[in-house]
Structure 1
Amino acid sequence: MVDKTINVTLTKDKKEKPAAEKLEFGKVFTDHMFIMDYIEGKGWHDSRIVPYQSITLDPASIVFHYGQTVFEGLKAYVTEDGEARLFRPDKNMQRLNRSNERMCIPHIDEDLALNAINELVSIEKEWIPTAPGTSLYIRPFIISTEAYLGVAPSKSYQFLVILSPVGAYYKEGINPVKIAVEDNFVRTVKGGTGEAKTAGNYASSLKAQELVADKGYAQVLWLDGVDKKYIEEVGSMNVFFKINGEVVTPALNGSILEGVTRNSVIRLLNHWDIPVAERKISMEEVHQAYKNGLLEEAFGAGTAAVISPIGELSWQGEQLIINDRKTGNVSKRLYDTLTGIQYGTVEDSFGWIDVVK
């Protein structure tokens, strides 16, 4: 039986909160954090909310050497009447446990994790920024802490949750971004860890991202790791293409992260009777649609940016200009609806919102 008691120790030295116009993504952190420990034979225990602080780990901790770690990302929003709310947090905890399974990390109690996030956000409610487009980013993560240099799953872990007030993920906001198709480096392959939200996937993406950033591109579009032909993800987002009236997104294949926003987009498109397909889609198909004048929109979907329209794709030396670098109607409708549900200006007819008590 998991002890679901969460002990709370409040800080006596609160931080100064940043001005909304100065918010960057993931630079500033709130006054408190959540921690829970795991030891083999005892299980998860000692759930606590404490003042935000450094953690101490042995230099031989497995997380440093073999990357046995997983994380999640979700947000808290505040409505005009001051209600704090979360968007589909149960889906994030379900995905966290799927990542745990892939990375040989013990499952967490999802209800306990949701209660911990709810209580932590409630304590830090005044940290949720109120300016348009801002929110409180929530980062749950698990690290392996056993001091051991053998290649084996750890016997001890920590589950932590930290919070950060954030502005827009991309400086462009809802305005279209430039994306470069990556056909040299590989993010992951089927059978690897691509469908898990684990640190190594992101570390392996940094070099490609660094190279395209120097050329003014916001992210890279990843192709599959075998044929380098089929589209998978855009950086930290799932990707969608509207071709001749139909919205197409790559099917989940074992190397693509199952995004919560991705799922929400598909649900909304189906609700609106806009044709949507989950299937293999190659860069050649997208290019041919562009040449034929049928590539109407492209956009990324993820927690950090919500919906990020793509105005330009660079592929094999050619620049594909999409919708005259303007935000498309479907992208705008999705963005307005999702953010409206999150901030309470659009009715939540799907039951996606959890109100923070």
Structure 2
Amino acid sequence: MTTFLSIPRPSQPFADQARARQNLLTKPAGSLGQLEDLACRFAAWQGRTQPMPLKPAITLFAADHGVTAEGVSAFPQAVTAEMVKNFAAGGAAICVLARQHGARLEVVDTGVAGDLSGLPIVHAKVRPASANLRREAALTLAEAEAALAVGREAARRALEAGANLLVAGDMGIGNTTPSAALICHLTGATPETVVGRGTGVDDAGLALKRRVVEDALARLAGRELSPLETLAELGGLEIAAIAGFYLEGAALGVPSLVDGFITSAAALAAKALQPAVADWLIASHRSQEAGHGIALAALGLTPLVELGLRLGEGSGAALCLPLLQSAILLHNEMATFAEAGVSEKSE
């Protein structure tokens, strides 16, 4: 059985000190809105009144899904391996954004069906694709634990490289289906409200996806499942790895910026395993996928932006990195009223 490190609480005293500094800066109190809150959260996470600038590390986890046999995706399963090759060549959206922000980017094969042995990526394949969750458990308990461990190891590598903010990305044709199943099971929401079009299925494809998720949930009806069993029954290898990534980051005192629908499902699985992980998460955006808002609400997270995104890969999170950097710089470098010789608000 996987043993997780305990997760510390962010430092409330440093959050309070950061808030006090915000109230001294040359602006009306609260006028920078969420940027002020973000600066104070990073102060609490880093244990500093004035947080250090962010050094983000993006880790992209890739895996295939047996449920694609049911016809739930508009793209064939082979696209997963093809896209991993594109990541390795630097041609995907997340590669462009990582270069823009100077972020470390690592690609991890957690369970791609194709042979990727010649690529300059991390080879940590637990098995080549999950099983078909409509008809059987997607993973064994041992496989779910192994995938969690892949994510934990990736988080440690990122932190050893100097990261102080983690970003997980996903690649896996068909992975909106297990993500929807997990969100339904962990929140009690219905497939009607959670299942979306994913890569762009038509109305008939959407109806099929909903039936597949309904059947997967029906398999589990009346069973009392542990969080790990839930992840094994309904998840995927990259989803489990992302959950482990978030858990290890939080245990080591580093926050994670949660991307879209798939990573939010992974965050819910991580929260089910260790509820305190939620204190170390920020949501980048609300995607177009139907149930993303439901997942974010269950995590207690408010997205920073809404741009109509539905790509995955960690792209929405990467787009928000300048916003977070600005929040910290404003907090650290603005003058106080006393420093600038500006009169404060009259009592």
Query: Fold conserved (TM > 0.5)?
Result: no
Structure with the bigger RCO (C-alpha within 8 Å, sep 6+) is 2
TM range (shorter): under 0.3
More helix by share: 2
Normalized against structure 2, the TM-score is what? 0.26
